[in-house]
């Protein structure tokens, strides 16, 4: 983890929303590489699968790091994710970093048709099994959920070990990342809320007898930097309303822990009743500023600075509102490129 704001990297959290084509997503990553971003993180929800798109990104870029943020720990077996990481690391010439997490019941049960059972325990066992697979040794593992024996990779293991990060918002999931993972991916946090969770990360590192400096912290931050600042803020507002209103309880609970319980409940209630305009109106300007960076390029850069000042944050991954057009995404990538930090 970093000591000063000047050391904070900037990465891309590629769009969650559907894009016109795989080539469009690859172009964003290539644009990010040209402008000095550290990583291109790819979410996987219910659109294009992450490994296929990441393979295309790896083939069309040379230096930018890449990885999923996140793949869930239900829809693929831990051994298969170990195989996937091994293969992607080969294709990417050592630039891969994996991001895994449980996701949430809305996606796991509603889309994958799998019980959202024991998410933290599953995450821990995935971390351990994926590392065992990628070691190249015969895997013998006896966990509470998974038991494996007698198989090993039939290809060479990764020459460079693949770091595995865990995502999470609650205290226990962040503690788990600090204790077992190589990094933590955070999302939907205010600067104060992130600092509170960093205490959980440090506690987890202590429990694992690890140096918290060895756990890389990445914050995915919704950002939109446009010359039309009002349009940028409108897009960010719509994005937040959707996640709080339509994506289960995780985001609402996270905001509640950070002092926005009334606002989160009002947003969710309006959305649930079909009043999307009411959900938008329930988002105060202060909340919009607290968890993102949206507006004119100058305003968005200023909002980013309060996160860069957080001791312990290594990387801000610039995300994009789900309603942004490809042109608006490209403008934001350009306006918030790492060179604009100083």
182-202 pLDDT per residue, tens: 999 999 999 999 999 999 999
Mean pLDDT of 135-140: 98
How does pLDDT run across 234-260, given as a tens digit for each residue? 999 999 999 899 877 878 888 999 999
188 CB burial (10 A radius; 0-12, 13-18, 19+): buried
Candidates 180, 49, 58, 78; CA nearest to 124 is 180
**N- to C-terminal Cα distance for the chain?**
20
Top-confidence residue, 6 or 267: 267
Integer CA distances (angstroms), 232 to 100, 169, 191, 222, 293, in order: 30, 25, 21, 11, 9
Residues listed for the chain: 342
Mean pLDDT of 156-171: 95
Q: Do the Cβ atoms of 202 and 297 come closer than 8 Å?
A: no
Count other Cβ atoms within 10 Å, centred on residue 36: 15
- In this prediction, residue 1 carries a pLDDT of 44
**Predicted confidence band of residue 6 (pLDDT cuts 50, 70, 90):** low
DSSP SS3 for 174: helix
Integer CA distances (angstroms), 64 to 29, 129, 160, 242, in order: 8, 27, 16, 30
- In this prediction, residue 254 carries a pLDDT of 87
How does pLDDT run across 279-327, given as a tens digit for each residue? 999 999 999 999 999 999 999 999 999 999 999 999 999 999 999 999 9
Helix (H) / strand (E) containing 267: helix 261-272
How does pLDDT run across 218-228, given as a tens digit for each residue? 999 999 999 99
Q: Do the Cβ atoms of 317 and 211 come closer than 8 Å?
A: no
Candidates 168, 255, 250, 185; CA nearest to 221 is 185
**Predicted confidence band of residue 136 (pLDDT cuts 50, 70, 90):** very high
- In this prediction, residue 251 carries a pLDDT of 86
Candidates 263, 326, 315, 269; CA nearest to 289 is 263
Flag whether pLDDT at 331 surpasses 50: yes
Flag whether pLDDT at 7 surpasses 90: no
Say what percent of the chain tops pLDDT 70: 97
Mean pLDDT of 18-40: 97
CA angle, residues 120, 290, 50, in degrees to nearest 5: 45
Flag whether pLDDT at 341 surpasses 70: no
Instruction: Give me the sign of the Cα torsion angle 122, 128, 134, 138.
Output: negative
**Predicted confidence band of residue 342 (pLDDT cuts 50, 70, 90):** very low
Q: Which domains does the chain have, with CATH numbers?
A: 5-341 (3.20.20.30)
Q: Do the Cβ atoms of 66 and 36 come closer than 8 Å?
A: no
Q: Do the Cβ atoms of 120 and 78 come closer than 8 Å?
A: no
**Predicted confidence band of residue 340 (pLDDT cuts 50, 70, 90):** low
């Amino acid at each position: 983890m970093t000591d000063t704001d000047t050391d904070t990297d900037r990465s891309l959290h590629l769009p969650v929303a559907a894009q016109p084509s795989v080539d469009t997503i690859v172009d964003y990553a290539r644009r990010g590489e040209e402008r000095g971003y550290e990583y291109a993180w790819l979410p996987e929800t219910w659109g294009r699968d992450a490994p296929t798109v990441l393979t295309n990104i790896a083939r069309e870029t040379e230096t930018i790091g890449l990885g999923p943020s996140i793949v869930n720990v239900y829809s693929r077996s831990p051994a298969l994710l170990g195989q996937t990481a091994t293969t992607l690391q080969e294709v990417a010439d050592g630039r891969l970093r994996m991001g895994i997490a449980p996701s949430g019941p809305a996606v796991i049960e509603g889309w994958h048709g799998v019980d959202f059972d024991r998410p933290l325990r599953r995450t821990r066992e995935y971390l351990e099994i994926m590392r065992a697979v990628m070691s190249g040794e015969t895997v013998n593992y006896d966990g509470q959920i998974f038991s494996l024996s007698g198989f090993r990779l039939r290809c060479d293991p990764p020459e460079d070990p693949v770091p595995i990060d865990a995502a999470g918002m609650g205290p226990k999931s962040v503690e788990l990342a600090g204790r077992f993972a190589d990094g933590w991916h955070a999302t939907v946090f205010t600067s104060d809320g992130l600092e509170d969770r960093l205490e959980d990360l440090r506690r987890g590192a202590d429990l694992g007898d690890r140096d918290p400096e060895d756990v890389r912290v990445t914050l995915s931050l919704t950002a939109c930097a446009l010359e039309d600042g009002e349009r940028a803020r409108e897009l960010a507002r719509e994005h937040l309303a959707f996640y709080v209103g339509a994506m289960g309880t995780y985001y609402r609970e996270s905001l509640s822990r950070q002092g926005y319980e009334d606002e989160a409940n009002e947003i969710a209630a309006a959305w649930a009743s079909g009043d999307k305009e009411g959900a938008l109106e329930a988002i105060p300007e202060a909340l919009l500023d607290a968890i993102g960076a949206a507006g004119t390029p100058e305003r968005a850069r200023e909002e980013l600075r309060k996160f860069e000042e957080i001791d312990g944050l290594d990387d801000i991954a610039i995300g994009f509102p789900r309603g942004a057009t490809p042109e608006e995404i490209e403008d934001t990538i350009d306006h918030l490129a790492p060179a604009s930090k100083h």
